[in-house]
């Protein structure tokens, strides 16, 4: 390219914002121009995100001091983007919002799952749901793209082919999630004596990400049974989906279905080995990567298929997918700046 696109981030002091900075500083076709944090104005990015030491010196500014840019990322807590989306829409040609504010196209669905009225309902229909594995062609043409729920993503990518083939009768979802999913604001639950050595179920029967799962898979929410448990790890989600099938299919059939849908997907890997300790998908080795790994096993003599999805919640569940969407929106090669393949051991 003759010139780089100018990109800025609102809410860059959080974990999602820090990942965006890390990725965009290594993107060959963009210039990371401005980053905002109202509570850290004047501080350098590396004072909040120490892994950025030695990189481009960027100082946090107030959102009120933002200049016009080509792409604007919104990395704010839930409920904040909708307060000022009208103003933000005048600051950038393209917007990618990481929060839940624009994941539903109707105000009724938003209220159903988030329990409150949407404050900018006129913008809901303008956003495309930002999961490339399902909405790639729409994202390419979009001006506004929403973020994805990390829990929903760990389920939607592994189960989408099965849903498209009409195989799912009922879902029982058991998710194990890391502490960074809750963000970087301290709370009683994140206090070290309370969080360390933790195996705590915090959502036994309901999670608002079920709305995204129902919408993207085309399955009625009363057929989706969800439980989430917090583990003592910093990054990652492991989703164990008990899929009750409406047809008798073999593991060979399931493998063929995944090959049909995902053989050319750059960030989806089928993990099903017969030996070794990494026989199925596992989030540990995905830290910092944009992959979704999928494993599966059919229970002999029943209609239960167990599908195991693994992602880094801050990457494929948030910032990595957001950058992947930007690449599609701007005509870049989809994998640009997302080539990190992970570490082992870690």
Q: Which residues lie closer than 8 Å to 247 by C-beta, 6 or more apart?
A: 167
Q: What is the distance in angstroms between the CA of the first residue and the CA of the last residue of the chain?
A: 37
Q: Catalytic one among 150, 210, 292, 330?
A: 150
Whether the CB-CB separation of 250 and 301 falls below 8 Å is answered with no
3-state SS, residue 337: coil
Catalytic status, residue 292: no
* CA 243 to chain CA centroid, nearest Å: 22
Tally of helices (H runs) and strands (E runs) in the chain: 10, 14
State the Cα–Cα distance between residues 319 and 191, nearest whole angstrom: 25
CB atoms within 10 A of CB 86: 11
Q: How far lies 26's CA from each of 56, 148, 178, in Å? A: 10, 23, 26
DSSP state of 275: S
Angle at 126 between CA 149 and CA 180, to 5 degrees: 20
State the Cα–Cα distance between residues 20 and 12, nearest whole angstrom: 8
Q: Which residues pair with 31 in a beta bridge?
A: 6
CA dihedral 223, 261, 318, 270 (to 10 degrees): 100
State the Cα–Cα distance between residues 251 and 230, nearest whole angstrom: 30
Active site residues: 150
């Amino acid at each position: 390219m003759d010139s780089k696109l100018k990109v800025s981030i609102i809410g860059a002091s959080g974990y999602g914002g820090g990942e965006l900075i890390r990725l965009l500083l290594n993107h060959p076709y963009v210039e990371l121009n401005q980053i905002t944090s109202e509570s850290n104005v004047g501080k350098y990015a590396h004072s909040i995100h120490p892994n950025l030491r030695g990189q481009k010196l960027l100082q946090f500014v107030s959102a009120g001091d933002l200049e016009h840019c080509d792409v604007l990322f919104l990395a704010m807590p839930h409920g904040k983007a909708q307060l000022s989306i009208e103003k933000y829409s005048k600051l950038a040609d393209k917007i990618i919002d990481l929060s839940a504010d624009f994941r539903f196209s109707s105000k009724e669905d938003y209220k159903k799952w988030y329990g409150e009225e949407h404050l900018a309902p006129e913008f809901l229909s303008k956003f495309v749901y930002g999961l490339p594995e399902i909405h790639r062609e729409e994202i390419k043409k979009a001006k506004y793209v929403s973020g994805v729920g990390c829990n929903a993503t760990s389920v939607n990518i592994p189960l989408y082919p099965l849903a498209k083939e009409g195989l799912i009768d009922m879902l029982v979802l058991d998710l194990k999630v890391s502490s960074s999913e809750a963000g970087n604001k301290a709370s009683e639950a994140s206090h070290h004596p309370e969080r360390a050595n933790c195996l705590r179920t915090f959502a036994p029967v309901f999670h608002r990400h079920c709305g995204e799962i129902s919408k993207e898979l085309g399955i009625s929410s009363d057929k989706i049974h969800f439980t989430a448990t917090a583990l003592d790890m910093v990054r990652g989600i492991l989703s164990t989906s008990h899929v009750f099938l409406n047809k008798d299919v073999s593991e060979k059939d399931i493998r063929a279905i995944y090959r049909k849908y995902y053989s050319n997907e750059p960030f989806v890997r089928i993990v099903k080995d017969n030996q070794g300790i990494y026989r199925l998908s596992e989030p540990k080795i995905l830290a910092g990567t944009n992959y979704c790994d999928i494993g599966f096993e059919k229970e002999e003599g029943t209609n239960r298929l167990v599908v195991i999805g693994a992602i880094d919640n801050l990457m494929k569940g948030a910032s990595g997918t957001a950058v992947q969407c930007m690449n599609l929106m701007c005509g870049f090669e989809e994998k640009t700046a997302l080539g990190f393949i992970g570490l082992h051991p870690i």
